[in-house]
Amino acid sequence: MENRKMDVQIYHGSMATSPAMGELICRENVFTVVKDGVIEGIYEDFPQKFSGVPVTELGSGILIPAFSDLHIHASQFTERGVGMDCLLFDWLSNYTFPQEAGFASLPYAEKIYPQVIRELLRHGTMHASFFTTVHYDACDLFFRLLQKSGMYAFTGKVNMDMNSPEFLIEDTEDSLSETERFVAEHSGDSHVKPILTPRFAPTCSERLLKGLADIGKRYHVGLQTHLVESRAESAWTKELFPEYRTDGDIYEKLGFLDNGPVIFAHVIFPEELDLDILKRHGCMSVHCPDATTNITAGIMPVSDLQAEGLPISLGSDIGGGHGAAVYRQAGRAVQLSKMKEFYEPDYRRIKFADAFYMATAAGGTVFGKTGQLKEGYKFNALVIDGLEDVGARHSTAELLERFCYIGDDRNIVKRFLDGREIDPEEVYRGLL
């Protein structure tokens, strides 16, 4: 009788998960038991305590954790694949800033933002940290859409009060008051949380940054921003903030780094002080392979950061990145590390297991017990299939690697969010 009252599902077949950098665990013919949306256990043999519960056979499918995208600009969705021959500052000026201005119109945001959520779910991303724009109403709309979708997310109102186009520059006090309003009105949700989002140091005055840090301290809210993305950005930051030694020094001295999760995108050219700061505060660095290739910022020194013990995850960085598939970023991360090793022989390339960990478990830590197939973790998971060639035989690990290089959303045959199977199209229709 007890089993019939419990919300229990059992899945039988192959699975793959990565519990740590460099580790990939693949198991076949196991029983994954899910109770009330959480993994109860993974068993070699059918657990008799659940006798009477139907078993879903996965067949040739492979159960894997859902992906986490820790750096994505929801407001740049319509830019993906556009302006990819530009460098960073030209791309921002000619494409990004004019496009983001459109979110002053709520009807425009109502059209674009549901598509963002659908696209991520299509590609198996169920946990993400989003930038939006400076426009309060559109940011509020996106937060509420994320809540409705069931995704796990951080999102914040972007802040920028200098060195930006006039049509996006905010009054400093207005920016602070709207940010505090956003944080106050959107705190308390278990799945979707506010996060401070200064675009990057050169677009924010010291007064604005100090005010944002104070909000973070009062409300215990974390931070997301870009950090040492390019040499030009790093040099510009030092010119604008001569009292601070590095980009990271700004955020530490102002008090941003101990109020919640800290997510720094790119971290391509960190100085020793930056590394010390990131390590001291447990900051997450986000590697965005496609984006940094498209705008030629550089290649994150992943293995160097790894050697320092820093947590590293992956991001699509739409629209600098041209696609939402974080699994593709795992493949790209390996490719770029090999290129970096080729041109810098002292550098050590990463392995596929490293990249898959970054795409799943590493990013998942920001959202609690997500990103792994493990007892006590949320059953936010995917089943991938259709990756075998007729007449060939590949291992589970090889099929997973193949998925991250040549797979697409058609290879994701099931998606589970908090234990419920979801359909991205149904979610999308529910957001309209």
Q: Distance (Å, rounded) from C-alpha 119 to C-alpha 319?
A: 13
Mapped onto helix, strand or coil, the DSSP state of residue 223 is strand
Report CA dihedral (406, 416, 70, 363) to the nearest 10 degrees: -90
Residue 38 structure tokens: 């959480």
Strand 55-65 and strand 38-43: pairing?
unpaired
Q: What percent of the chain is modeled with pLDDT above 90?
A: 93
- Which range among 64-78, 147-161, 291-305 shows the weakest confidence by mean pLDDT? 291-305
What burial letters (b/e) apply to 131-167, b meaning 16+ CB within 10 Å? Answer: bbbbbbebbbbbbebbeebbbbbbbbbbbbbeebeee
Mean pLDDT across 89-104: 91
Provide CB contacts within 8 A for 301, sequence distance 6+: 268, 270, 340, 347
Per-residue model confidence (pLDDT) at position 223: 98
- Which of 84, 87, 93 shows the shortest CA–CA distance to 163? 93
Rounded to two decimals, the pTM is: 0.96
**Token pair for residue 96?**
């990004």
**In this predicted model, which residue has the larger pLDDT, 145 or 1?**
145
* Residue matched to tokens 């600098």: 320
Domain pair 2-65+372-431 / 67-367, same fold = no
Write out pLDDT tens, residues 298-357: 899 999 999 999 999 999 999 999 999 999 999 999 999 999 999 999 999 999 999 999
Sheet of 8-17: strand order equals: 38-43, 25-35, 8-17, 55-65, 381-384, 412-417, 420-421
CA dihedral 328, 313, 74, 251 (to 10 degrees): -150
Q: Are 162 and 176 in contact (CB under 8 A)?
A: no
**For residue range 168-210, what is the model confidence (pLDDT) as tens digits?**
999 999 999 999 999 999 998 789 999 999 999 999 999 999 9
- Superfamily (CATH) of domain 67-367: Metal-dependent hydrolases (3.20.20.140)
252-299 pLDDT per residue, tens: 999 999 999 999 999 999 999 999 999 999 999 999 999 999 988 889
Instruction: Select from 355, 286, 257 the least CA-distant residue to 69.
Output: 286
For residue 43, give the H/E element and its range: strand 38-43
Fold of 2-65+372-431: Urease, subunit C; domain 1 (2.30.40)
Asked if 74 contacts 155 with a C-beta cutoff of 8 angstroms, the reply is yes
Q: What is the pLDDT of residue 27?
A: 98
Give CA–CA dist 308/125, Å, rounded: 28
Length of the chain: 432
Contacts of 320 (CB under 8 A, 6+ apart): 73, 76, 88, 91, 288, 290, 291, 292, 294, 295
In degrees and rounded to multiples of 5, residue 41 shows phi and psi of 175, 165
d(CA 53, CA 55): 6
Question: By C-alpha distance, which of 283, 288, 285 is closest to 256?
Answer: 283
The pLDDT of residue 92:
87
Average pLDDT, the chain: 95
* pLDDT tier for residue 6 given thresholds of 50, 70 and 90: low
> What's the start-to-end Cα distance of the chain, in Å?
41
Q: Percentage of the chain surpassing pLDDT 70?
A: 99
318 neighbors 72 (Cβ within 8 angstroms): yes
pLDDT digits (tens, 9 = 90+) for 45-66: 999 999 999 999 999 999 999 9
Q: Give the start-to-end residue ranges of the domains of the chain.
A: 2-65+372-431, 67-367
Mention every residue, 6+ apart, whose C-beta is less than 8 A from residue 213. Answer: 251, 254, 255, 256
Sign (positive/negative) of CA torsion 372, 375, 379, 382? positive
Q: What is the per-residue burial (b if ≥16 Cβ within 10 Å, else e) of 44-65?
A: eeeeeebeebeeeebeebbbbb
DSSP 8-state secondary structure symbol assigned to residue 385 = -
- 410: burial class by Cβ within 10 Å (0-12, 13-18, 19+)? exposed
CA distance 124 to 327: 9
